Structure 1
Amino acid sequence: MSIEGGCRCGAVRYTLSIDRLPPTYACHCLDCQTWSGSAFSQQALVPEEAVHMTGPVVFYDRTTGDRTSHQRMCGICHTRLYNTNTRRPGIAVIRAGTLDDSHRLDVVAHIWTKRKQPWLIVPDGVPVWPESAPLDEFVKVMMG
């Protein structure tokens, strides 16, 4: 199975060297609402070495407290494609909407639900955390 994605304008393309579409999570924090311009962001965790990109990628680093987020985006249309984070070395956070088969993705967890829009209903049985999930629990849910 080829898992591919890219930016809005098509200048940047990527391939994920993994066996299946990754599970995704929804983050309802205020940063993700602002970054996405929507009620939440939908993301997937994959090993950083599994991401292979081509095209004009630009970088943006954002430091918040003791953490730095290294953003990768298209240098033309500025679509955010993925980021890495100093708190989770070796893990890439893929923006789910940039995957070619994003319509086939499952949301298996929700974080920062204390900031969730009141009209959004999380299905029963899906793990939720009012803020960030403890890393060991989160990785177990996201990466099996």
Structure 2
Amino acid sequence: MTITGGCRCGACRYELALDAPPPVYACHCHMCQRASGSAFSVQALVPEASLTVTGPIVVHEITTGDRTSIQRFCGTCHARVYNTNTRRPGIAVVRAGTLDRSEELECRAHIFTDYRQRWVTIPEGVPQWPEMAPLAEFAAALTQG
């Protein structure tokens, strides 16, 4: 199965070689709010090797302490498409809203909820953490379903 997506202008396109749409999570931290211009960012963790990108990509690196986040944007419309992080080698963080069929995705977890906008209501039964989730719990929440 191939899952497709791209930026808002269509100049940058990608394919994910996955068997099913990836599970997604919402991050409510202030950095994601500022980067998305919204109340939170919805993202999918996918194997970087499953991602093939075509079109103009602009790279911006952000170093914080011991990690570097390598952000990839469309070189034409500057929509943020995905990033990688030196703390998670081999994993790409795809912006879920860039998937062609994003309306079919199910948000399986919420992180950094201490920073959420107070008008955002998280559905009952969806795992949530006030800050970053413990890795094992977070992985379990994303793989259930």
**TM-score, length-scaled by structure 2:** 0.95
Are residues 1:29 and 2:29 paired?
yes
How far apart in 2 are the matches of 1:91 and 1:111?
18
> Which residue does 1:55 correspond to in 2?
55
The 5 A counterparts of 1:1-144 are 1-143=1-143
**SS, match of residue 31 in structure 1:** helix
How far apart in 1 are the matches of 2:134 and 2:85?
15
Letter in 2 for 1:107: C
Deviations 1:89-121 (A, max 9, x none): 111100000000011110000000000111111
How far apart in 2 are the matches of 1:137 and 1:124?
17
How far apart in 2 are the matches of 1:92 and 1:141?
18
How far apart in 1 are the matches of 2:85 and 2:139?
14
Kindly tell me: are residues 26 and 36 of structure 1, through their superposed partners in 2, closer, same or farther at Cα, counting changes over 3 Å? same
**SS, match of residue 137 in structure 1:** helix
Deviation at 1:136, TM superposition (A): 2.5
Letter in 1 for 2:81: L
Unpaired segments ≥5 residues, structure 1:
none
Deviation at 1:19, TM superposition (A): 0.6
How far apart in 1 are the matches of 2:60 and 2:139?
25
**SS, match of residue 131 in structure 2:** coil
How far apart in 2 are the matches of 1:70 and 1:139?
22
CA RMSD of aligned residues (A): 1.1
Deviation at 1:142, TM superposition (A): 2.1
- Counting aligned pairs with the same residue, the percent is 62
Letter in 1 for 2:56: P
Kindly tell me: are residues 62 and 23 of structure 1, through their superposed partners in 2, closer, same or farther at Cα, counting changes over 3 Å? same
Give 4+ residue runs of structure 1 displaced > 6 Å after superposition: none
**TM-score, length-scaled by structure 1:** 0.96
Deviation at 1:139, TM superposition (A): 2.3
How far apart in 2 are the matches of 1:15 and 1:140?
25
